[in-house]
Structure 1
Amino acid sequence: ILPGHFSGAINMPYTTFLDPSGKHLGTEALAKLFQDAGVDLERPLWTSCGSGVTACHVILAAHRLGHPGVPLYDGSWVEWFRRSSPEDIITEGEKKKE
C-alpha cells in the first residue's frame, strides 16, 4: 500500500500533539495547532491515519478543547486504499488525477 491521503485531508501527524517528553501539549498549544492547520473545530471533523491508531491523538486533543465525539474512520488509509478506484488515490507527492 502506497502512503498517501484522502482528498481534502489536513495532515496533522500525531507527534505534533506531543511535547519533547512525549506528553500531550497543553490546551493553548493544541488550539494553536488546529488553528495553524486551518482546522475549524466548530465544523464537522473526522480523523484517520494509516490504520486507525495514531489518529486518536487528534480525537483526544479535540476532546480536551471541548469537542467530544470526533469520529475515527477506523479502517483509515489502508481500507480506503484497498476499496478506492485508482483515480481517487492520492499518494504522497501527488495531486489528484484529473
Structure 2
Amino acid sequence: DGADREQLRRRMRRFTDLASETRALLFVRSVAGTAELEVSEALFEVLQARFGANRRPVWLLIIVEDQPMVGPVLHAHHPELLFWIMPRFAGHLSPRLEAPAPFEDAV
C-alpha cells in the first residue's frame, strides 16, 4: 500500500544519502548460501565505488553461517573485505537483549 511504499522510499533515500557523509562505513551482509561468496568481491567494489569517495573507509563484513568453525577470515587482496564464519545460530531471540543476538560476535 501507499504507506509501505513511502517507508521503502525513505529507507532507500537514507541509504543513498550515506554517500554524502564522511564517516567510515561498515556494511554487513549475511549470505544465503556459499554460492553468494563468488560475488562478494563485486559487491565490495560496488560499495567502494558508491560510498568510498575521497578515500573514505568502506568495509564489508560477509557472515557465512552453517560452517564447522567460528572466526574471521581475511581477504587476500582487500583488507576491508572481511568474512565471519560461524555455525548456524541455535540460540533464542530475545527482545530484551537477555541472550546474545545471532551475529553479535561477528559485528
Q: TM-score of the superposition, structure 2-length normalised?
A: 0.33
Greater RCO, CA 8 A, separation 6+: 1
Q: Which has the higher strand share?
A: 2
- Which is greater in Rg? 2
